Amino acid sequence: MPADSANNSTSERAICAENVSLGYGDRTILKDVSFCVEQGQIVTVLGGSGSGKSTLMKGLIGLLKPTKGRVRLYGKDIFETGAEAWLEWARRRIGVLFQSGALIGSLTLGENIALPIREFSNVPKEILPEIVRLKLEMVRLGGYESYYPAELSGGMKKRAGLARAIALDPKTLFCDEPTEGLDPVISAEMDNLLMELNRVLGITMVVVTHDLPSIKAISDWSIMVDGEARGIIATGPPNELENSSDSRVYDFFHRIARPVNSERR
């Protein structure tokens, strides 16, 4: 969604960043970033290494407080209320897939997925194992309930992390580099999985990635951030961005190496 319409009718939109600046200490990573994500969309956040993609995601999920501006989830400013109230409100609305899966190593996959369900819902103990089985089957890990994360491959860990992220049926899912380090076949499988979850469950998704095939496969809309510009340099469907006149965007999509200290066209 273009940045200029970010301030209009934000309540029905899943996410809206309004003039958000993010940084660590005195160091500003992103400055005056504005965009909105419509419900049911898959939006990819693109950019090179160190461009601020993951920082932006941290700002959107409430892990990093903006130094300026505000982030709205379903119309609600996530930093307006106290932390406790926000967590209570958010836990059923957002799920996060971390880069490494971030599974708890001392728990089995079943226990990892059961953890948020047991903690934040009142489902009876007879139904809980069935939900865990369903979630694992959704990510094609049916039968792996008793396995520990250390016994799984990288791709399986990511899928298990996804199962935990969607354990409570969130309305919005944030994914940090879901295909990073996976082979092309597993990457494509992960893409299909995200698209199916979006299509069948209607989950809105914000996917931080720089995996080109993945961007082209899953994105309804893309937002490209740049480290030097400290903000968004392009937004739009990936097939439009691919032919952008901005050399930074064009080079990214066509994997063109830029010589050191080169002039931009």
Partner 1 sequence: MGRGFPFETGKSSEGELLISFTTPLTYETAAEIWQSVSTLASRKENASLVLDLSAVSKVDSAGAALLRSIQGLCERKGVRLRTQSIQPPIKHFLEFLEREKPKKDKPSPPSGSMLERFGAFLIEQAAEFRDFARFCGSVFAVMAGSIRHPAKFRWAESFYYLQLAGSNAMTILFLIMFLLGVVMTFQAAIQLRQFGANIYVADLVSLALARELAPVFTAMLLAGRSGSAFAAEIGTMKVGEELDALSVMGFNLPEFITLPKVLALMIAAPLLTMWANFAGLVGGIAVSSVSLDLTPYSFMYEVYTTIEFSDIAGGLLKTEVFAILIALVGCFRGFQTSMGADSVGRQTTAAVVSGLFLIIFADAILTVIYYFLGW
| Residues forming the site for partner 1 (CB under 8 A) | 92, 104-106, 121-124, 126-128, 130-131, 133-135, 137-138, 140, 142-150, 166-169, 196, 200-201
Q: What's the one-letter identity of residue 151? A: E
d(CA 45, CA 177): 10
Burial class (CB in 10 A: 0-12, 13-18, 19+), 225: buried
Return the sign of the alpha-carbon dihedral for residues 59, 61, 63, 69: positive
By beta-carbon proximity to partner 1, the closer residue of 31 and 92 is 92
For residue 261, what are the CA distances in angstroms to 17, 52, 132, 257?
A: 32, 21, 52, 12
Alpha helices by DSSP H, listed for 64-108, are: 83-90
Shortest distance (Å) from residue 127 CB to partner 1? 5
Burial class (CB in 10 A: 0-12, 13-18, 19+), 85: exposed
Burial class (CB in 10 A: 0-12, 13-18, 19+), 35: buried
By beta-carbon proximity to partner 1, the closer residue of 191 and 226 is 191
- 175-186 burial: b if 16+ Cβ within 10 Å, else e: bbbbbbebeeeb
By beta-carbon proximity to partner 1, the closer residue of 16 and 114 is 114
By beta-carbon proximity to partner 1, the closer residue of 131 and 188 is 131
Shortest distance (Å) from residue 85 CB to partner 1? 19
By beta-carbon proximity to partner 1, the closer residue of 145 and 246 is 145
Contact 5, 36 (CB under 8 A): yes
By beta-carbon proximity to partner 1, the closer residue of 5 and 39 is 39
Shortest distance (Å) from residue 42 CB to partner 1? 17
Shortest distance (Å) from residue 112 CB to partner 1? 12
Shortest distance (Å) from residue 87 CB to partner 1? 17
Shortest distance (Å) from residue 164 CB to partner 1? 12
